């Protein structure tokens, strides 16, 4: 099949591209990252384009059997007014442009990213895919992002939306960011650490993605989170154990808010998200346990 991955040069996109190429598909990615881990093999093509703007890149969309939309600026950044607009535009405008370019009466599949942040600060309430959107900036962005993706239904496409938890893998994502300070003994919980921490191993993300792609009855919303529910302090403890390092230096709530503003406040929130739809459809997780997942990634 011909597959286009917008935002496909990053941590997740490069892993998906490599997997899809190994299955014999033709893969084109767009994105701005200078990722040296991108595949270099037959059937792979990289397209330089700002997908938040209309352009020539849209001309290849009707030719694709599968559209994978991962585009979006990182949220791990100070949220100035300008940067918040970039977070929003990179996701919503890209999705709008992508859907606009899909041909009428299409038979394509659209697999669109979203995030567990859709649920806002979920507190102690379990969140399956039927739960409504929460409040706050990230929840608002996710709600608009998903609404744009759903419009592809009108053109005949099969749409599945993947609400990602925190993605754990060896070559990027949260582990790459946290590994060094933890190895230096500077790791610890954020705030009181009681906020729920939805997570997924990159291997499961790739396999669950393939599961949605190949099962024609799969459409709608899917929480891409592991079934092993943990709080943030439990994640920190497990990571410290695998790295054999202490985790006694918490980041106080007041310091997070003072140093990082609105972004810092978002890190104090959590979602008790569960993968109800994936499990009901028959997906079996490769890494359901956090400690086992971290040991696989870090060789502990």
Task: Specify if 98 maps to a domain.
Answer: yes
**Which residues contact residue 54 at a Cβ distance below 8 angstroms, ignoring those fewer than 6 apart?**
97, 100
Owning domain of residue 212: 2-166+202-225+273-286
Question: What's the rounded Cα separation, in Å, for the pair 234 and 238?
Answer: 6
Task: Specify if 188 maps to a domain.
Answer: no
Which stretches within the chain are classed as H helix? 11-22, 81-101, 137-150, 173-183, 202-214, 232-243, 253-267, 276-281, 290-298
Whether 289 and 297 have beta carbons less than 8 Å apart is answered as no
Q: What is the pLDDT of residue 37?
A: 64
Whether 287 and 293 have beta carbons less than 8 Å apart is answered as yes
Task: Specify if 295 maps to a domain.
Answer: no
Question: In this structure, what CATH number is given to the domain that contains residue 16?
Answer: 3.40.50.720
CB count within 10 Å of CB 53 equals 12
Cα-based torsion angle of the residue sequence 99, 105, 107, 110 in order, rounded to the nearest 10 degrees? 20
How many structural domains are present in the chain?
1
CB count within 10 Å of CB 101 equals 18
Q: What is the pLDDT of residue 57?
A: 96
Task: Specify if 179 maps to a domain.
Answer: no
Task: Specify if 180 maps to a domain.
Answer: no
**Which residues contact residue 292 at a Cβ distance below 8 angstroms, ignoring those fewer than 6 apart?**
none
Question: What's the rounded Cα separation, in Å, for the pair 135 and 94?
Answer: 23
pLDDT < 50 regions, the chain: none
Task: Specify if 22 maps to a domain.
Answer: yes
Q: What is the pLDDT of residue 244?
A: 85
Task: Specify if 262 maps to a domain.
Answer: no
Question: What's the rounded Cα separation, in Å, for the pair 71 and 10?
Answer: 9
Task: Specify if 172 maps to a domain.
Answer: no
Question: What's the rounded Cα separation, in Å, for the pair 98 and 52?
Answer: 9
Q: What is the pLDDT of residue 249?
A: 64
| CA-derived radius of gyration, the chain | 19
Q: What is the pLDDT of residue 36?
A: 59
Question: What's the rounded Cα separation, in Å, for the pair 11 and 18?
Answer: 11
Question: What's the rounded Cα separation, in Å, for the pair 292 and 300?
Answer: 9
pTM of the predicted protein model: 0.93
């Amino acid at each position: 099949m011909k597959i286009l991955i917008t935002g496909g040069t990053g941590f997740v996109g490069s892993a998906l591209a490599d997997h899809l190429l190994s299955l014999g598909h033709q893969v084109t990615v767009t994105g701005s990252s200078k990722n040296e881990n991108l595949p270099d093999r037959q059937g792979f093509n990289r397209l330089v384009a700002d997908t938040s703007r209309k352009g020539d890149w849209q001309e290849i969309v009707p030719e694709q059997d599968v559209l994978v939309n991962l585009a979006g600026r990182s949220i791990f950044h100070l949220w100035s007014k300008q940067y918040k607009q970039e977070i929003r535009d990179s996701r919503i405008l890209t999705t709008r442009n992508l859907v606009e370019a899909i041909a009428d009466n299409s038979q394509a599949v659209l697999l669109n990213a979203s995030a567990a942040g859709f649920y806002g600060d979920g507190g102690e309430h379990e969140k399956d895919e039927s739960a409504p959107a929460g409040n706050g900036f990230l929840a608002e962005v996710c709600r608009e992002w998903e609404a744009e993706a759903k419009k592809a239904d009108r053109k005949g496409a099969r749409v599945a939306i993947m609400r990602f938890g925190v993605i754990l893998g060896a070559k990027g994502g949260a582990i790459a960011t946290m590994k060094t300070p933890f190895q230096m003994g500077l790791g610890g919980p954020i705030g009181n650490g009681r906020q729920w921490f939805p997570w997924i191993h990159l291997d499961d993300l790739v396999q669950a993605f393939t599961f949605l792609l190949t099962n024609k009855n799969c459409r709608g919303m899917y929480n891409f989170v592991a079934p092993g529910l943990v709080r943030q302090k439990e994640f920190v403890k497990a990571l410290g154990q695998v790295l054999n390092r202490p985790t006694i230096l918490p980041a106080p709530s007041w310091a997070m808010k003072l140093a990082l503003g609105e972004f810092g406040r978002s890190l104090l929130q959590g979602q008790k998200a569960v993968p109800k739809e994936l499990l009901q459809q028959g997906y079996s997780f490769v890494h359901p346990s956090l400690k086992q997942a971290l040991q696989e990634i870090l060789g502990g």
